[in-house]
Amino acid sequence: MVRKQIFLASISALCIVLGGCASYRPAPPAFNEAINKPYLLDAGDRIRLTVFEQDGITNTYSVDQAGYISVPLIGSVPARGKTIQQIEAAVADKLKKGYLRDPDIAVEVDRYRPLFIMGEVGAAGQYSYVPGMTAQKAIAAAGGFSPRANQENVDVTRQINGESLTGRVTISEQVLPGDTIYVRERFF
């Protein structure tokens, strides 16, 4: 009878451990590829558009939920999934059509969309992204690890090519604007 109880307890413990392993999702190759690609704008980003010698157009513009910026004279310009160079070209093309002969334009990211930190941290929530930020620095911004946190790796959910992908990465991995970082509880 005692052997049977020990056997059942061992099987139960094994199932718990294997159940935890079953949820393991290594980061797909697209995670690292996304970090090395040019930055693509999305809702929540704010850009600084400078049209030289045109103070009425030079301003900061936020990418709205539909993925557009609204610029005086030319109206809505699609920004979601575009690089800043593509925005420069799109605004220049629209301004050439009846407004300016040869517009000189510069675009830069003024503020990146936030990232989100959940799980075993001091203060879960939405935080500002800083270029080059790692998961560890993001967690530090959220008050650090809680006493029960797994401090080796985290789950990151990222939008890649319109698809939401989740993968497990080390805390030294770079994160991107719009990422959701989930710090899991450790088992022991």
Q: What are the structural domains of the chain?
A: 24-38+113-183 (3.10.560.10), 46-111 (3.30.1950.10)
Per the structure block, which two tokens stand in for 34?
């996304």
41 CA to centre of own chain: 11
Interstrand relation of 75-78 and 68-71 (parallel, antiparallel or unpaired): antiparallel
Minimum mean pLDDT range among 15-29, 81-95, 131-145: 15-29
State the pTM of this model: 0.79
pLDDT tens-place string over residues 34-55 = 888 899 999 999 999 999 998 9
Section 131-147 average pLDDT: 95
Provide the pLDDT for residue 23: 53
Provide the pLDDT for residue 98: 84
CA distance linking residue 128 with residue 73, whole number of Å: 31
CA distance linking residue 149 with residue 146, whole number of Å: 5
Provide the residue type at 27 as one letter.
A
Among 59, 63, 104, 103, which residue's Cα sits nearest to residue 82?
63
pLDDT tens-place string over residues 78-115 = 999 999 999 999 999 999 998 888 999 999 999 999 99
- Going by pLDDT thresholds of 50, 70 and 90, the confidence category of residue 14 is very low
In DSSP terms, which residues pair with 46 in a beta bridge?
62, 111
